[in-house]
Every structure is written in C-alpha cells, then in structure tokens.
Amino acid sequence: MDFSTLFRTKENLNLDKRTLTILRYIAIFGQFFAINIVYFYLSLPFPIELSYLIIFIGLLTNIYLQFGIKINQLKDLYAAIFLIYDLIQLSFLLYLTGGIFNPFSFLLIIPAIVSSTFLSMGTTIILGLVTSLLLFIISFFYLPLPGEDMNLLHFPDFYKIGIIISILIGLMFLSYFGIRFAGETKKRSEALYRLQEVISKEYELESLGGQAAAAAHSLGTPLATIAVVAKELKKEIGDNKDISKDIDLLISQTKRCSEILKQISKKQIKEDVFLSSIKFEDLLQEIINSFKETSAKKIDLILDNDNNKINIERTPEIIYGLRNFIGNAVKFSKSKVKISLKSDPNEIEIKINDDGPGIPDDIIKKIGEPYIKSKSIELNANSGLGLGTFLGKTLLERQGANLSFRRNSDLGGALVIISWNPKSFNYS
C-alpha cells in the first residue's frame, strides 16, 4: 500500500468552509438546547456553568472559522483541526453529563463521517482513532447523572464495552459508506465532465467545418472578379513589362487561392460529418481506415445481409462511440479484428470481434462504469477500460443503441454487440 496517498485530499471534494460552519452552528445550538432541557426541564443536576463555557468556546471557534479563515475550500489540516476540536468539545460535555451513557454520545461519530466524505483517508483514520480513544475515556471517566431515585447510576464494565463496540461498528460502517460515496461521486463528476468535453470538441469541429464551407463559398466570387479585372488590365497596359509582370503574379496568386478554396469545398462536401448523412457501412469503413493508417493489424469489415442500406446522421455521439469500441478492439487484439454489419427493416447490428485476451471476468459486469480496472495479467495488469468505455457506451445509448458485451468472440477475444432499431434514425 502506498501510504503517501493516504493524506491526499479528494479532488473536487474538499470540505467547503460554509458547509462546515453551518454544521458546527447546528451542533453548538443543539448542545445549548439539550443541556438546558436536561438541567431545567428534567431537573438533573450537573455543572451547567462549565457546560456553557465549553459551548461558548465552541461558538468562538466557529466565528473564527467563518470570518477569520479566508479560504473557501478547507484542506485536510484546517478541517482536521476543527473536527478534532469538535470531538474534544463534545467529549467534555459528555464527561459532565453521564459519559457514554448519555444518549447523545453517538454524535461522536459525526466528525469522522464528515471526513470520510470530503477529506483524505488518512485524516479519516486519524479522526476514527481519536474518536475511539475519547469513547474509551468517557466510558470509564465521567460524572454520572442521578437516576429516578436520585441515586447515582452505575453500570458493569461489560455493558460499557458493549456500547463502545456498537458505536465503533457504526462509525466504521458509516465512514466506509462515506468514502465509497465520495469516490463514486468524484468518478461520476469527472466522467460527465469528460463527456461534455468530448461533445463540446465535436461541435467545435462542426462549427469550424461550417465556417470553412461558408468562407470558401463567399470568397469564390470576389476572387473570380479580381481575376477578370486583372486580365483586362493586362490587355490595357500593352507592352509595359514591369506592370505586366506584377499583374501576372496577381493572376497566378488569385488562381492559387481559388484552387485552395475549391479543395476546401470538396473536402467539406465529402467529409463534413454534420451537414450530410451517410450509409452505415461507409461510416464504419471510414473509421476502420483511420485505424489502418496507424496500425498494422488486420481489420476486416463484413457485410452480412446488408440489404437495408439505412442512412444515418454523422453525429459526434455515434462517431466517438464507434471509434472507442473499434479502437479498444484494435488495441487489445493480437493481429486481427473483424467487424460485421447486419441490417434489416427491424434491426441494425454491429459486431466487433478481436483475437485478444477477451474481457476479464472481473469487469465484464462492470462495463459502462467509469474508471473500472482489470486485474487480469492477460491485459498487462491494471489496463484501464473504464472512462472511454463509459463515454462511448453513454453516447451510443443516447442515440438509441443497445450494447452487450461477451468475453469470447469468433476470434477468441472480446465481442461487443451494438444494435439499433432503424426507426430511431428516421433516415432512408
């Protein structure tokens, strides 16, 4: 275990100062209310003046936290100091009011739970140890409250130990839940951010492509006009070689600009993924060709009963999703990838096969979750299959796709099946 990471604060999940301040105000006023009820309403005697002093000091520390500390996101050190103080303050109050037998003693687990949700695991462990120590102390050292007959209540040691154990079990359970919840929240947040980033970049390309086409179209006419005027000027100047040479240069450069714009226009019409629709087989072939340029592995496209040649819109979601799963197949295959396309009026189905090690058993049921890792030695230990797959799966599902995954394919490796109902595209 790498202990250097224990005190690494969770990114995007630092403890907000305002949140901690509000929680501490609630605790302070709750303590004030509780001791007054016990002392004045229930008429149970205990050192109330000392209790007031402890609560007042807690109020001062919270005012300092609210106005004296200028940062809004509290790192481990600052947050741990205040949380440990809260533990000590509550323990003093419990010491004065019956120790662990006070019904409010269970509140000692709250600082550790807050830490497990927002701070590092190391800080959570320290707070858990401090909580355990304070629970032990107030179990055997405390000022007992009188019972109904106004005699002091006494409890056997085994009862005290039982209470300690039950509270610690609750602490461990809730802290573990907090750690897992915070971790999953972070992963989902990052995954959604990456998803938005991918879509944003794709639509940026859309905008640039459209602007290029518009520019090519708009500049064509002015350039043609310049070329015509230049030719007429050349006729008018006659034998003036110096000026004629400049005009020839102007004509040649105008022609060059026109050719460049023509190429841009042709490329836009041919490759614009946003302004035109495309047959599924052509889209798959384009994606496959892009991988063939960078990989020596054999990638085959098989058309199986592709009689229903449906056109689809080349959306960023579909392009990114298909590229992701085809890219994974190329990455993990040994030498061969087979992609088959079958379509009919009821279904469009794409199967992506590879001859790699296949999908490990430990993650096949987790595919689609962000940041999953495989422990399989076959995949070179801890190969990441999470975020890209999560994004690809999410994007394709938003376009009406259904995805399923198999460990073994016809080639012996992984099999990914992506299917649509043709009606979801509304293209012919």
- Contact status, residue 46 vs residue 108, Cβ threshold 8 Å: no
Return the percentage of the chain with pLDDT > 70, whole number: 68
CB under 8 Å to 165, separation ≥6 — which residues?
Answer: none
Q: 105: which DSSP letter? A: G
Structure tokens, 330: 């190329």
Instruction: Say which residue, 71 or 221, is predicted with more confidence.
Output: 71
Average pLDDT over residues 176-189: 65
pLDDT classification of 216: cutoffs 50, 70, 90: low
Distance CA 428, CA 426 (A): 7
Q: Which of 312, 259, 261 is nearest to 286 (CA)?
A: 312
Distance CA 11, CA 415 (A): 35
pLDDT classification of 51: cutoffs 50, 70, 90: very high
- 3-class DSSP state of 409: coil
pLDDT of 384 higher than 90: no
pLDDT classification of 276: cutoffs 50, 70, 90: low
Instruction: Say which residue, 121 or 93, is predicted with more confidence.
Output: 93
pLDDT at 221: 66
Using alpha carbons only, what angle is made at residue 87 by residues 82 and 92, rounded to the nearest 5 degrees?
125
pLDDT of 206 higher than 60: no
pLDDT at 217: 59
pLDDT classification of 428: cutoffs 50, 70, 90: very low
Q: Where are the alpha helices (DSSP H) in 97-156?
A: 110-118, 121-140
pLDDT classification of 378: cutoffs 50, 70, 90: very low
Using alpha carbons only, what angle is made at residue 24 by residues 18 and 25, rounded to the nearest 5 degrees?
90
pLDDT of 316 higher than 60: yes
- 3-class DSSP state of 45: coil
Phi, psi angle pair for 415, to nearest 5°: -135, 125
Distance CA 252, CA 248 (A): 6
Q: CA-CA-CA-CA torsion for 247, 252, 255, 259, nearest 10 degrees?
A: -160
Average pLDDT over residues 309-315: 75
Instruction: Say which residue, 140 or 169, is predicted with more confidence.
Output: 140
pLDDT of 274 higher than 50: no
Average pLDDT over residues 337-359: 87
User: Among 43-47, 235-239, 259-263, 376-380, which stretch is predicted with the lowest mean pLDDT?
Assistant: 376-380
Average pLDDT over residues 231-260: 76
Average pLDDT over residues 233-258: 76
Count other C-beta atoms under 10 Å from residue 11's C-beta.
9
pLDDT classification of 56: cutoffs 50, 70, 90: very high
> Could you read off the pLDDT of 93-120 as tens digits, one per residue?
989 888 888 888 888 888 888 877 778 8
Distance CA 325, CA 74 (A): 41
Strand 415-420 relative to strand 347-354, pairing: antiparallel
pLDDT classification of 275: cutoffs 50, 70, 90: very low
pLDDT at 208: 53
pLDDT of 320 higher than 70: yes
Q: Which of 28, 30, 78 is nearest to 53 (CA)?
A: 28
Average pLDDT over residues 175-183: 64
Q: Over the Cα atoms of the chain, what is R_g?
A: 35
Task: Look up the CATH number of domain 277-424.
Answer: 3.30.565.10
- 3-class DSSP state of 341: strand
Average pLDDT over residues 30-58: 89
- 3-class DSSP state of 279: strand
Q: 384: which DSSP letter? A: B
pLDDT at 63: 93
CA-to-CA separations, 117 to 18, 77, 175, in angstroms, rounded: 16, 15, 8
Structure tokens, 92: 């003093």
Average pLDDT over residues 210-224: 64
Instruction: Say which residue, 194 or 57, is predicted with more confidence.
Output: 57
Most trustworthy range by pLDDT among 4-13, 250-259, 324-333: 324-333
